[in-house]
Amino acid sequence: MTFSFAAKASVLLLFLGSTLYVHLRGKARLPVLRQFVNHSALFAPYNALMYLFSGVPSKPYLDRSKFPELDVLKDNWEVIRDEAMHLFDEGYIRAAEKHNDAGFGSFFKKGWKRFYLKWYDKPLPSAEALCPKTVALVSSIPNVKGAMFALLPGGSHLNPHRDPFAGSLRYHLGLSTPNSDDCRIFVDGQVYAWRDGEDVMFDETYVHWVKNESEKTRVILFCDIERPLSNRVMTFINRWLSGLLGRATAPQNLDDERVGGINQAYAWSKNSSDKVSGVVKRWKRRNPKAYRVLRPVLAVVVLTLLGYWLFA
């Protein structure tokens, strides 16, 4: 069965329209070309549905009091902090050593580190063994789909980005922070500075970035919270897709823990691309004029292939 021109055009317009909508949502934006090739564009049609049926307001920061089930985390923040700092002291909060963490691959270059507690279907065995109290608290809240300890060293930052999946919201609980305005997150340009024992909820599909301009390392509890939806059918679809993506992106803290297919593919592509990029960089240094000529030629080839698919 082949698609007609009208069907192909409709698919293309749906993708372009929803990606443009995501791009224009909010005040802070990625460069236009980057947005259309960014991984968040892949989910743009789905995310538009999430926004349409969202049970919470469409704004960068959300009222945390509307999620009273999370009170148990804030009320026990010192218990959570003690387990997190033990892991920190023992070196368990760390970067992915095998490039098998697709969701946060670019963060590790900035010194960002993590230790997973739960990832969508169940807690990680290493977390159950090393921080049982925190795992029990997190697991007692059904709408906490993913949780980790996240670390950012002093003098570091995370560049502007938007998370790709609008089926969840982001929750942060300060554990060991600089307690300073020098360590802060910007969500759609609006600033929040972490404090020990204080929490915040935000929509991570807005463009956001982080600056830790203090000298102290920031450690927080970082959770994905299921987005409340106003439609039962959409809630069912979102839970199904979240579970599917969660299994596909299953991470590991220790080598003997399962890794999802997407993370395995990311590790393979990262290792392969590192080899290819090394060859390309060497060729570029030797042939700078040819490189400048080939870049627009490749762009024309991609556009030609797209046009052939659309009009064939």
Give the whole-angstrom CA distance, residue 270 versus residue 254: 20
> In this structure, what are the phi and psi dihedrals at residue 24, rounded to the nearest 5 degrees?
-85, -10
Residue 134's CB is within 10 A of a number of other CB atoms, namely 28
> In this structure, what are the phi and psi dihedrals at residue 47, rounded to the nearest 5 degrees?
-65, -35
Give the whole-angstrom CA distance, residue 223 versus residue 168: 10
Write out pLDDT tens, residues 97-156: 788 888 888 889 999 999 999 998 789 999 999 999 999 999 999 999 999 999 999 999
Q: How far is CA 28 from the centre of its chain?
A: 17
Contact 171, 225 (CB under 8 A): yes
Which pLDDT score is estimated for 308? 60
Q: Length of the chain, please? A: 312
Give the whole-angstrom CA distance, residue 29 versus residue 36: 12
Compute mean pLDDT per 10 residues along the chain, 312 residues long, and list them: 70 87 92 82 92 96 97 98 96 88 87 95 94 98 96 96 95 98 98 98 97 97 97 96 92 91 82 61 77 72 64 60
pTM of the full predicted structure? 0.86
Residue 120 backbone class (left: φ over 0; alpha: ψ -120 to 50; beta: rest) = left
The tokens for 269 are: 């592509």
DSSP structure string for 112-137: -EEEEEEETTEE-HHHHHH-HHHHHH
Give the whole-angstrom CA distance, residue 222 versus residue 30: 24
List C-alpha distances in Å: 129 to 117, 123, 132, 190, 246: 10, 10, 6, 38, 21
